[in-house]
Amino acid sequence: MASGNKMFDLTGKVALVTGGASGLGLGIAKAFVQNGAKVLVGSRTIDKVEGAVKELQALGGDESAGGVALDVTNDASAERAVRKAIDLYGRLDILVNSAGVMLRKPTFELKGEDFNRVYDTHVTGSLRCAQAAGHIFREQHSGCIINLASISTFVDLIEVAAYAAAKNAILGLTRSLANEWAKHGIRTNAIAPGFIPTDLNRKMIENTDRGRRILEHTPMGRFGKAEEIAGGAVFLASPAAGFINGHTLVIDGGYLASGIGDSFAPWATPEK
């Protein structure tokens, strides 16, 4: 259903959301459908993809969503996903790179091959999909890419060195594409979510000391929700963000803003 506010309306737009069968990707896909877009979601696990498509179609009707088996670590797979969007909907306007994996390991034990797998999924995977979609965007002279950065793009998190390195590189990739492809009518931005419990991190942050510390350092005193990240994605994809390019939108309940400031203090605990 299209929003009443045309500035945020995605009616007529087609989006490919990688990693769109769960977590933040699924949240973004739902918000896109609710704001009028048609969405193709892709990931490696086809059952999960089919389940996500049903959820999306329940929101927007049969035409609103499709699924594709996608492995972003494979060039041909990325190209096939983009082709499927064109075959199904005749165009592609938005790419959200939300496919991702987490690896927690003390850095002394981190093997090069594991580092490369994480990096390949997040960074080279985003590049592959951006290139595949970028060819279409260049022909249309219009397109929007949204990459998923992270808090670890900006501050250190312990024992996730491969993930942090990848998320730092996402910032560089986002700025490079924003700079180089704007002349083709392509805007590239990133979202840096704070901590949202999903399959990626639930074991690390739900009811753990690490999770409790994160909440103490979050002025809003809670984890985020997928729909709160999705709002940022709708904004960045919409006409309202027509002059926003190369930006990383932090959505974190104030975690970064708090730095080492007063918000950690007991007297700053949010009122219930």
Ligand X SMILES: NC(=O)c1ccc[n+]([C@@H]2O[C@H](COP(=O)([O-])OP(=O)(O)OC[C@H]3O[C@@H](n4cnc5c(N)ncnc54)[C@H](OP(=O)(O)O)[C@@H]3O)[C@@H](O)[C@H]2O)c1
Binding flag, residue 98, ligand X (CB under 6 A)? yes
Binding flag, residue 45, ligand X (CB under 6 A)? yes
CA distance 271 to 32: 33
Residue pair 178/6 in contact by the 8 Å Cβ criterion = no
Residue 189's contacts (CB-CB under 8 Å, 6 or more residues apart) are 144, 145, 146, 147, 174, 178, 236, 241, 244, 245, 246, 247, 248, 249
According to CB under 6 A, which one of 8, 14, 23, 127 is a site residue for ligand X?
23
The neighbour count for residue 171, using CB atoms within 10 Å, is: 18
Query: Locate tokens 């249309």: which residue?
Result: 140
Q: Which two tokens stand for residue 148?
A: 């998923």
Residue nearest to ligand X (CB): 23
> To the nearest whole angstrom, how small is the minimum distance from the Cβ of residue 183 to ligand X?
27
Q: Which two tokens stand for residue 10?
A: 């995605």
According to CB under 6 A, which one of 121, 174, 188, 258 is a site residue for ligand X?
121
According to CB under 6 A, which one of 72, 169, 230, 250 is a site residue for ligand X?
72
Residue 163 known to be catalytic: yes
According to CB under 6 A, which one of 150, 174, 218, 245 is a site residue for ligand X?
150
Active-site entry in 89, 119, 163, 255: 163
Torsions phi, psi of 19, nearest 5?
A: 65, 25
Q: Which DSSP string do the residues of 144-181 spell out, in sequence order? A: EEEEE--GGGTS--TT-HHHHHHHHHHHHHHHHHHHHH
Binding flag, residue 48, ligand X (CB under 6 A)? yes
**Which CB sits closer to ligand X, 185 or 216?**
216
**Which CB sits closer to ligand X, 44 or 184?**
44
DSSP state of 154: T
According to CB under 6 A, which one of 14, 92, 99, 127 is a site residue for ligand X?
99
Binding flag, residue 174, ligand X (CB under 6 A)? no
What are the residues binding ligand X (CB under 6 A)? Answer: 18-19, 21-25, 43-45, 48, 70-73, 98-101, 121-122, 148, 150, 193, 195-196, 198-201
**Active-site annotation, residues:** 163
